Chain A
Amino acid sequence: MDRRQLLFGLSSAALSQLEAGTHHTAKADACIFLAMLGGVSQIDTFDPKPKLTELNGKIMDWTKEKKTDQPNLFAKPRKFVASPFLFQKYGKCGREVSELLPETAHWVDELAICRSVQSDNGNHPAAVFQMNTGFIIPGNPSVGAWVTYGLGTANKNLPSFVAMPDYRSIPFSGAQQWGSGYLPAEFQGTVLRAGSEPIRDLVSPRDVSTELLEAEREALRGMNGVFGALRADNPELRARMDSYELAYRMQMEVPRVLSIDAEPAAVKEAYGLNDPVTASFGRRCLMARKLVEAGVRFVEIFTPSQSWDAHGDIKKNHEKNARETDKPIAALLADLKQRGMLERTLVVNMGEFGRTPDTPAEQETPGRDHNTRCQSMWFAGGGMKGGSMIGTTDEIGHKAVENIYHMHDVHATILHQMGLNDLRLTYYFGGRNRRLTDLGGRVIKELVS
């Protein structure tokens, strides 16, 4: 019996506990996906291009390129832009990292970097969809939904897939970026917010005592039980009662797990919670660690929509965004490592695409535009080979030329590390077995330990 038949027959909640399982031995139990919305410049982070210093200000010849990501921007003359950031070697692996990421740089021996990831569409909304769902159009399940569908839940009190957008600016198309698409609703990401009601409807708006709520719960359990006794082997009814129990436990458990008040001052300081610049991303990184510790399978944290989108001023934009995220990310890696969790937790850091080596010639402050031909992304922990790197771009950092990988391959790698085979993880919809990676991805083997 495949998963699909089970979905017809059994309640799906029962299914996710019964049937879910790995295809092969998993290297990671959980994944924290750090979505750098807007697209980070590879040239200014992990992929130094000294040639650009030489070409800086010179006009770029685009006549040989058939296709560009932003036709309106490429219709006019463009000039090369050297990175305004200095690079330096770090770690035992001697990886070059720019001064933008001084904290993350200290963790290069834990990072597995791919500098040649390509994608299909240079528009933010379509590209963000592809990063999260594999496809450039809406309607498809997100990576976290696929993982939850494949593996089921690993905890009894919390949702299995948590999304934490930045409320200054939500990702394009909002909830669809962590939605379940055509998968059943139970696999959709649950949004957690900082504050008194982290999950929607978690708290009763009625001004009643907890004793009364507890008594109601008892009464409901009793009533469903009386009815259930008459229909003893009805799996749907059993599953319904279980889901109410889980809901009640969530009401108790979620505020406890998410409370960071009790964390030591040093931890709060490390994540940057005392600094308004880093506090938002830092708080969510710390929550991610606590959620994974409590058995949540997949946590996705988003920077504000288009935050890294440095068309106008690469220096100013990237400095601002790096300041908000670099320290919290390093703290997350350190915290996971120190708690022995990094080994079994896959951390992924990427944006929807990379950026161009050039800027419109008429522009005074140089920026960088969208580039689907290469981006530098990294994995850490979860069975990835620390200190490794793959992928080469051309001398100006315009496109990947060696060991080219695609967004589907990143997804295949995430699934692979979590014990799932992207070709076998399918769901029947619209007349065919659908996949996260469509026709299949390639695991980025060079980065897997």
Chain B
Amino acid sequence: MRRRMLGLALPAVAASLALVAGCSSGSSGSTSTGGSTSGGKGGTLTIGSSVAPPTLDLTANPAAAIDEVFDYNVYQHLVQLDPKGQIVPVLATSYSWSANRKTITFTLRKGVKFSNGDPMTAADVVYSIKRVVAPKSTYPYKALMGTVTSVTKVSSDQVAVTLSQPNNEWLYQFAAYSNGVILDPAAVSKIATQPVGTGPYKYSSEVSNYSITLVKNPDYWGTAPGPSTVVFRYFANSNAENSALQSGQIQVIDNLSNPPDAKQFQGNSAYKIISGPTNGKIQLTLNNTAGPLKNVLVRRAISYAIDKAAIVQTTAAGYGTVIGSDTVPGDPWYSPSYAKVYPYNPGKARQLLTQAGYPHGFNITLTLPPYGYATAAGPLIAANLKSVGINVTIKDIQWPLWLSQVFTNHNFDMTIVDHVEARDIGNYAIPSYYWQYNKTSQVASLLAAGDAAPTQAGQVAKYTQVLKMITADAVNCWLYNPDQITVAKSNIVGLPATGLTESFNLMYASIGGTLSSQAKAQGFAG
């Protein structure tokens, strides 16, 4: 579920990878302004979603619902991710790293205008990046930019960003998160009421907690998008959302909040179901300092005791991949082997519990946030654990309480949560992180070494070491990587085929028409 963001941003040292061969100097991306969808111009596309953006200001709040609407569609970055998770240049036409891999120079696209008519300048780009790293900045993903030491205008169409040390992951994060949006300094004072960006759509209006309307941006520099109007309509209740699609009030459900609902649309030629991976890791988080969970044998026993494949089938209707560690198929360091480390084996679990000194099991509490994936998986996990002698008491709590009790005060035994952030393995390097792993300094140095590695292979090797370590220590019980399940009327084309970006990227969306092969190659669904 992409509804709530969870996962502390990677510290500067952590996570990094040069997707773009970014490790070597002089690498640059190709220019891609995006091909178009032919036919099917105009019309209103109405998209149903489950959680309304709490604010229109995507630099003030990490809620996925804001980025989904505004990132890439209304605001753009110098570089962005395509639905396959690859970095593509957007407001920059190219970029290159210096020989010491600390400075990246972006060449800006010419002729770009904001939706209020202001031209985008190098000064605006410098302003936008400095706004993220300012000492009093409250950008929710600020920590991902932590290593920036200077931002300078090199010329009227070049901007250079210097990091304190090489950080191959930096560009990916800059492309992926709202830190990267380019703002018009003249419009920032009204960012919460009148968002202004350079994207294919511009903000039109909002009915609070109900709908947001975007219209085609007449000043857009690229190929104009298909629908002239896009409405995001919010449903607190998934039944109401499903009936709205069936009755034609909406044409798309961006992501089914209850995956088993997909059955209502399967095998009906009026609808298409587009499912693809997200960056999420739904996990049973274990408090590594709580009672029996201190013992690695107990944590391994729990991992053996839980039938992850059955949980994916039952709670997510099979829309997900069992992962076995803090990595998903979209990661460069992913391997399916982690899912085989702790196969479902209650006998082995009982044996480990006996070995750990708990032949008769113990009592433990499972605290659940109010999200469907958690409340659905909770009882299955309790039953799995009961069969090896562990008695689970389930406690349901509200999200703000979860944040204070579980996340901040570490007052919990086990919880289930979706760590939705991409490449967030750096969480295992944070000493105070809520699961309280005891080898954070080792993780930190391995990740730092990975960041400094001059080749991608070298970096993947270091990251793999971390993954093997946290898996062997069974720090958490990783359940599965959930899919994004988009349901649309069959005539809607060009929707993103994965949930690998925060944005529900509508660059190619259209009502009718056919999708270009270039767009398909980038991961948009035909």
Q: Do A and B bind each other?
A: no
